[in-house]
Amino acid sequence: MSEFNMLINGEAVGADASFDVINPANEQVITQCPMATEAHLNQAVAAARAALPAWSAKSMDERRAVVLQIADRIEANMGELAQLLSSEQGKPIEGFAGLGAMFELGGCLAWIRYTATLDLPVEVIQDNDDARIEVHRKPVGVVGSITPWNYPLLITMWHVIPGLLAGCTVVAKPSEYTPLTVLKAAHLINDLLPPGVLNVVTGKGDIGAGMSAHEDIDKIVFTGSTSTGKRIMESASGNLKRLTLELGGNDAAIVLPDTNVAEAAGKIFATAMINNGQTCAALKRLYVHEDIYDEMCDALAGIAASVTTGPASESPDFGPIQNKMQFDKVCDLAEAAKADGATFMTGGAPLERDGYFFPVTIVRDIPEESRLVQEEPFGPILPVVKFTDVEDALARANAVSVGLGGSVWSSNIEQAQALAARLECGTAWVNNHAMIQPDAPFGGVKQSGLGVEFGRYGLVEYTNIQTMQIAKG
């Protein structure tokens, strides 16, 4: 099928070899995708390099107009793209709280259209009788985008759209688990862009590694695991690539004793289980004060017992875990927590049916050292840890090597904000979690990454600074 071919220099390109794309709801092959070779990657990079001078020479307003056309084209095809996304990623079309495939498509539109409002004005540092000094932002060049399987199209748009607006050209590699929606969207918008401005290659880890080391790629934008991000940093040193890395997290939330459990439990549940827990900034470790611990555990378990897990055809709240590797990890962490003596209030074992289905699981009475607390599960399982002393809870929240997001929950906003400011993370929420928006910078500290995305802060990461000094007299 032509829409599942690669896109190189504006043309649909196949390959001699292919790989299967699996529907995680039934473990059946949806279709096959081309397995890119080094030659395909080189062709894509060469196309992007050739297209760069003309694309970067266009005015910001000209590029902005194209970006807005991209949003319109995606909107016109939202239904078809959502169905395809659901089949390869597993998320329901609507899902719990409307956070399914249509939510991802809506997010694409919101991010594209907001990003199109941004500009890169010249900044004047000095203008006097001696000299005028200006700071210009120039496109960084050819960008390589490597994206994960949890939000395939949305994260691709997060990478690609600011690059295009800034005047860069792009070579994108979607996850081998979820390449179809990205390929379909790329072919849908292909006629809006000059050939070579956006290229999509599909394959496995060797193609991503080839991109990281490629001498003609000027920047890598990567969303994924910390371990892979470290390898990208090593490979990128050859030509000192610019990097934006949004890596793993293990977000903690601290629930203070004055929190209204009835009001907070629903939000906590939704932000922990968003996308079936397969969200980088989802709430993954919940620290609750002993005074309200039992009440919070019961409230969360009550919500978990009321939701459904199943294939999209059943219109469930939650779908499967996206792939077997992640499914096996969640199962393994659950078994380890059982061995540690934790109490499972809901779930705890895979559903007995085809597909990678694991029910929403709430775990209490779990020791801090349990792997389920210390490791990011990236699935529908939440450990609820009791604490007595707030300083101890803060120390435990910060005692990990990653720092993507964190939150504090309380009826006292001032008190919560003061504590949230002490969390070692890139985004700190008060009485919320995992809520991101296109105008607010998002990124991690420690081993959760480098740089930020979104808004003007994210846009300038696709540029280099050129300082221009104009002597007078």
Q: What's the pLDDT tens digit per position in 10-61?
A: 999 999 999 999 999 999 999 999 999 999 999 999 999 999 999 999 999 9
DSSP state of 138: E
| Delimiting residues of CATH 3.40.605.10 domain(s) in the chain | 2-247+448-471
DSSP-based three-state secondary structure for 388 = coil
Active site amino acids: 246, 280
User: Which fold does the domain 2-247+448-471 belong to in CATH?
Assistant: Aldehyde Dehydrogenase; Chain A, domain 1 (3.40.605)
DSSP-based three-state secondary structure for 232 = helix
DSSP β-bridge partners for residue 200: 7, 172
Q: What is the per-residue pLDDT for 1?
A: 40
Of the CA atoms within 13 Å of residue 316, those in its CB half-sphere come to 23
Q: Strand 131-139: give its sheet, edge to edge.
A: 123-127, 131-139, 463-471
Condensed to tens digits (0 to 9), the pLDDT of residues 340-362 reads 999 999 999 999 999 999 999 99
Smallest CA-to-CA distance from 353 within 310, 305, 313 is with: 310
Residue 473 has pLDDT above 90, yes or no: no
Give me the percent of the chain exceeding a pLDDT of 70.
99
Condensed to tens digits (0 to 9), the pLDDT of residues 376-429 reads 999 999 999 999 999 999 999 999 999 999 999 999 999 999 999 999 999 999
198 burial (CB, 10 Å; 0-12 / 13-18 / 19+) is buried
Q: How far apart are CA 274 and CA 103, in angstroms?
A: 11
Residue 2 has pLDDT above 90, yes or no: no
Q: What is the per-residue pLDDT for 3?
A: 63
Condensed to tens digits (0 to 9), the pLDDT of residues 168-224 reads 999 999 999 999 999 999 999 999 999 999 999 999 999 999 999 999 999 999 999
Q: How far apart are CA 189 and CA 181, in angstroms?
A: 12
| Delimiting residues of CATH 3.40.309.10 domain(s) in the chain | 252-437
Residue type, 17: A
Q: How far apart are CA 259 and CA 237, in angstroms?
A: 48
Mean per-residue pLDDT, 120-144: 97
Q: What is the per-residue pLDDT for 170?
A: 98
242-246/343-344 β-pairing: unpaired
Smallest CA-to-CA distance from 384 within 260, 268, 266, 267 is with: 268
Smallest CA-to-CA distance from 14 within 26, 5, 4 is with: 5
Per-residue tokens: 143: 């960008």
Position of tokens 């990236």?
378
At how many degrees (to 10) do helices 261-273 and 293-306 cross?
A: 50
Mean per-residue pLDDT, 364-378: 98
Q: How far apart are CA 7 and CA 195, in angstroms?
A: 9
Mean per-residue pLDDT, 242-250: 96
How does DSSP assign 110-132, residue by residue?
HHHHHHTT---PPEEEEESSSEE
C-beta separation of 61 from 116 below 8 A: no
Q: In this structure, how many other beta carbons lie within 10 angstroms of the beta carbon of residue 59?
A: 9
C-beta separation of 20 from 32 below 8 A: yes
Q: What is the per-residue pLDDT for 85?
A: 98
Cα–Cα distance list, 113 to 60, 70, 464 (Å) = 14, 9, 24
Q: Angle at Cα 403 formed by Cα 400 and Cα 408, nearest 5°?
A: 95
Q: Is the pTM of this model over 0.75?
A: yes
DSSP β-bridge partners for residue 243: 220
405-409/252-255 β-pairing: parallel
Mean per-residue pLDDT, 73-85: 98
Q: Which CATH architecture has domain 252-437?
A: 3-Layer(aba) Sandwich (3.40)
pLDDT band at 246 (very low <50, low <70, confident <90, very high): very high
Q: Angle at Cα 445 formed by Cα 439 and Cα 451, nearest 5°?
A: 50
Secondary-structure breakdown of the chain: helix, strand, coil percentages, each rounded to the nearest 5: 40, 20, 35
Mean per-residue pLDDT, 79-86: 98
Give me the percent of the chain exceeding a pLDDT of 90.
99
DSSP-based three-state secondary structure for 75 = helix
Of the CA atoms within 13 Å of residue 462, those in its CB half-sphere come to 30
Q: What is the per-residue pLDDT for 404?
A: 98
- Residue-averaged pLDDT of the chain: 97
Condensed to tens digits (0 to 9), the pLDDT of residues 445-459 reads 999 999 999 999 999
Q: How far apart are CA 237 and CA 223, in angstroms?
A: 18
Q: How far apart are CA 397 and CA 418, in angstroms?
A: 15
H or E element, residue 303: helix 293-306
Q: How far apart are CA 180 and CA 422, in angstroms?
A: 41
